[in-house]
Amino acid sequence: MMRPLEIIGSAARDLARAYGFVQPLLSVLREPTEPGHNAATTSTPGWPRSAPSIRIEGLTFGYEPGRPVIRELDLEIPAGSTTAIVGPSGSGKSSLIRLMLRLYAPQSGRILLDGCPIESLGVAHLRSRIALVPQDTTLLHASIATNIALGRQDTGHADIARAATDAQLDQLVESLPSRYETVVGERGLKLSGGERQRLAIARALLRQSAIFLLDEPTSMLDSKTESAVLQAIRKIAANSTTLIVAHRLSTVMDADEIIVLDQGRIHERGTHADLLATGGLYSQLWRRQAEGNEASRDQ
């Protein structure tokens, strides 16, 4: 039986051929696979179970020698929980997501799912258990329906429409003459950054993966759309172990735990209420964002 990522790969190849050009399917597939990985590693079917625990042990990583962006990071993410990673720009948040996907290998330390190091899984198998909402979603030059279903050929229209509705994409689709058959992507209808984010969330809703990784999933949405999209995110997060990276703290205030990274290290951690009470970096960032929101409302 084909695994979901293989199905995605083969669907992408077929569609790219059909439309006469090759376009990267997802940013995750566009980025380099971690050098030196063992492609022949066997994968245990059905593993990890839904919503595994994630343990990060002594993780150190840098893109260039002698310049670590993640420094001896230790983190335990309980099975089924939602953990947010926040922190200043350049603190290593997206790099952590890339390491989870094995786009890069750490210089030292490891990441374990339910106690098993991710290097012992095949890369394709690992990624097939992860739903990713990247910072910027690459669209296939194909219909909106194909882009949402992405590789899940067995998905019916009703499921696609439900995912689009949950992701707040339905109003846009209904306004288009060809609705779900509207071709998007290169040489098709251009979607805005926020529309692409919502499409990525609809895609993730359909995938029902064990692990749900979101990198700035609401950065391009207005606050009304953000709160509706957050409801959809909570729906996926309920059945997955979720890691969400965000600058906008309103996106993460409901997380079970918020990790504040600074220069690749954990600066502080806790719930939203804990961190506000501590009066540290998180509460400064929160205050700054609240003042920014007030200023923009007053304009």
List the one residue from 95, 137, 138, 225 that touches ligand ATP (CB under 6 A).
95
Question: How many residues are listed for the chain in this entry?
Answer: 299
Q: How far is Cα 274 from Cα 270, in angstroms, rounded to an integer?
A: 6
> CA angle, 76 as apex, 74 and 78 as ends, to 5°?
170
In angstroms, what is the minimal distance from the CB of 214 to ligand ATP?
12
In angstroms, what is the minimal distance from the CB of 29 to ligand ATP?
16
List the one residue from 41, 94, 155, 219 that touches ligand ATP (CB under 6 A).
94
Closest Cα partner for 247 from 229, 261, 268, 237?
261
Distance of CA 109 to the CA centre of its chain: 22
3-state DSSP call for residue 85?
Answer: strand
Cβ closest to ligand ATP, residue 110 vs residue 247: 247
Q: Please state whether 179 falls in left (phi above 0), alpha (psi between -120 and 50) or beta.
A: left
3-state DSSP call for residue 119?
Answer: helix
Residues in 114-173 that interact with ligand ATP by CB under 6 A: none
C-alpha pair distances (Å), 258 with each of 19, 130, 242, 275: 43, 21, 12, 8
**Piece of 1-9, 15-23, 93-101, 281-289 that binds ligand ATP (CB under 6 A):** 93-101
Residues in 46-85 that interact with ligand ATP by CB under 6 A: 63, 69
In angstroms, what is the minimal distance from the CB of 101 to ligand ATP?
13
In angstroms, what is the minimal distance from the CB of 99 to ligand ATP?
10
Which x/- pattern, by CB under 6 A, does the window 226-265 give for ligand ATP?
Answer: ---------------------x------------------
Identify whether the C-beta of residue 213 lies closer than 8 Å to the C-beta of residue 243: yes
Cβ closest to ligand ATP, residue 58 vs residue 90: 90
Cβ closest to ligand ATP, residue 4 vs residue 87: 87
Cβ closest to ligand ATP, residue 90 vs residue 156: 90
3-state DSSP call for residue 183?
Answer: strand
Write the single-letter amino acid at 165: T
Binding residues for ligand ATP (CB under 6 A): 63, 69, 87, 89-95, 247
